[in-house]
Amino acid sequence: MTTVYYSNAKESSMRFALLILLVLSVRLPVCAQSPADEVKAVQDDARVKAAFEFIDKDRDAILREWIAITEINAPSKQEKERARYIESLLRKHKLDIRYDEVGNLIATRKGTGGGPVAVFDAHMDTVFKPGLKIKATVKDGRVYAPGVGDDTRNIEALLATIRALDAAKITTKGDIVFLFTVDEEEEMTGAEHYTKQNKGKVDYYVALDGGYEGFTYAGIGINWYRHHIIGPGGHTRSRTPPYSATLPMARAISRIYELKVPNNPSSNLNIGMLGGSEVVNAKANDAWFSVDLRSTSNEVIADLEKQIAAILDEEARKAGMTVKTDVLSKSPAAVLPGNRESKLVHVAEAVHRAMGFNPPIGNAGSNNSSAALLQGITSISTGAGPCADAHALTENCEIEPLYKGIKKILLLELALVGLAQ
């Protein structure tokens, strides 16, 4: 007889409690899964293995396409031609494709639902002047062309992952947003616009720019100034003092170099340019120098800024002169509290280790990731391959590691948004 089941209310409630316990204990290991376990589960999935195999088979097409995009120069704010070409490649896939008001090209690979939204960004613009004819050459396992690395290698990495995801018929829970941005090299207005508009809708923002073996989770602040000391000037043979404004300038520079610039938080100070009179036989009435001040801490920047201003005022006053400061550009350190311990950083670290890297993890990035962090979006920056001579006509990249870098990016995409069953 099985009526025992109904015979005792106390017993049945105990059974119910036991059942709950059983369910909880079965679920516990899932909740406690470490990022390394999660990444391993994705990496071991047969579909992901198929995607990796596809990347290996797709090598020649990847190299050809990488070169074709590189050969379309795209100076900042003149990215249209390159964007149209990338768009034509994206159109071969099932993606939601659009441009926003500033010219960012956005392609969303929709998930099945219930997963996070991960944005993967690569910038389209280059630092090279309009009209530059670019012809890539391949030699000794490297490809040489201005812009081939910064940031075309990462544009190609994104396109290659889209092809591999489709070839392996991979569906994801969350959406992957492929974001091809404008104007990273000059003012970062592309990423700034996108992150401001979408900050409530983005869970993770990965800027692919530079990098290969490691990644950064915060942006360094970079401030540029031109300080002038303004004096009366005069002929070399005019009454002295007053001196040339170069004298208080030189004294100020030597005192500024005595300032304590901390290594931790990572900070730098450089005076790279200076000027004075236009001719030899005149005292400068305007002696100037540039300051490039960087730190991962905005407090350090503010403090050094204050000390530099005080030195300038003192030296100018001693010489009976005045100070004028032009701020050439200011971009604050992008530090998001807790980002180092965020899910994104832990998953990114696990992905790098799973791919055989021992990743350096830094906090001094200087790219679109900062724009996201400043909007409060958890973000990192990394890249798909090792390159050299960025921003120079001799720029070049190693070819072979890019294929591994593409697999790394694909694994990161999937580890973040989750595989759908």
Q: Are 204 and 379 in contact (CB under 8 A)?
A: yes
Give the three-state DSSP class for 226: strand
> What's the closest the beta carbon of residue 83 comes to Zn ion, in angstroms?
16
- Rounded least distance, CB 167 to Zn ion, Å: 28
Shortest distance, position 184 Cβ to Zn ion, whole Å: 6
At a CB cut-off of 8 Å and minimum separation 6, what does 8 contact? Answer: none
**Given the complex with Zn ion, which of 229 and 409 has the nearer CB atom?**
409
Minimum Å gap between C-beta 123 and Zn ion is 6
Residues 202-261 that bind Zn ion (CB under 5 A): 209
Q: Out of 65, 79, 121, 151, which residue is the one contacting Zn ion (CB under 5 A)?
A: 151
Between 22 and 388, name the residue whose CB sits nearer to Zn ion: 388
Out of 150, 315, 395, 398, the residue judged to bind Zn ion by CB under 5 A: 150
The three state secondary structure string of 356-407 is CCCCCEECCECCHHHHHHHCCCCEEEECCCCEECCCCCCCEEECHHHHHHHH
3-state secondary structure 88-106: HHHCCCCCEEEECCCCCEE
- Cβ distance to Zn ion smaller for residue 71 or 125: 125
Q: How far is CA 118 from CA 122, 153, 202, 417, in A?
A: 13, 20, 6, 7
Contact 283, 244 (CB under 8 A): yes
Size of the site for Zn ion (CB under 5 A): 3
Closer to Zn ion by CB, 150 or 395: give it: 150
> Residue 150 or residue 175: which is nearer to Zn ion going by CB?
150
CB neighbours of 107 closer than 8 A, spacing ≥ 6? 90, 93, 95, 96, 97, 162, 177, 178, 180
Residue 399 has phi, psi (to 5 degrees) of -85, -50
Contact 331, 239 (CB under 8 A): no
CB nearer Zn ion, residue 128 or residue 225: 128
The answer to whether residue 395 forms part of the interface with Zn ion (CB under 5 A) is no
Cis peptide before 241 (omega within 30 of 0): yes
Q: What are phi and psi of 35, to 5 degrees?
A: -55, -35
Segment interacting with Zn ion (CB under 5 A) among 93-101, 145-153, 232-240, 311-319 = 145-153
Q: What is the DSSP letter of 322?
A: E
Q: Supply 255's token pair.
A: 């005192």
Residue closer to Zn ion by CB (options 183, 209) is 209
- Nearer Cβ to Zn ion (151/413): 151
Q: What is the DSSP string of 136-161?
A: -EEETTEEE-TTIIIIIIHHHHHHHH
Among 10-18, 105-113, 142-150, 291-299, which window interacts with Zn ion (CB under 5 A)? Answer: 142-150
- Which positions from 162 to 201 touch Zn ion by CB under 5 A, shown as an x/- string? ----------------------------------------
Task: Decide whether 174 or 219 has the Cβ nearer to Zn ion.
Answer: 219
Q: How far apart are the first and last CA of the chain?
A: 42
Per the CB < 8 A criterion, the answer to whether 397 and 149 are in contact is: yes
Shortest separation between residue 384's beta carbon and Zn ion, angstroms:
12
CB of 293 to Zn ion, least distance (A): 21
Q: Find the part of the chain contacting Zn ion (CB under 5 A) among 56-64, 103-111, 143-151, 284-292.
A: 143-151
Nearer to Zn ion, 125 or 349 (CB): 125
- Residue 37 CB neighbours (<10 A): 13
Closer residue to Zn ion (CB): 77 or 93: 77
Task: Return the number of other C-beta atoms located less than 10 Å from residue 4's C-beta.
Answer: 9
The residues of the shown chain that bind Zn ion, judged by CB under 5 A, are 150-151, 209
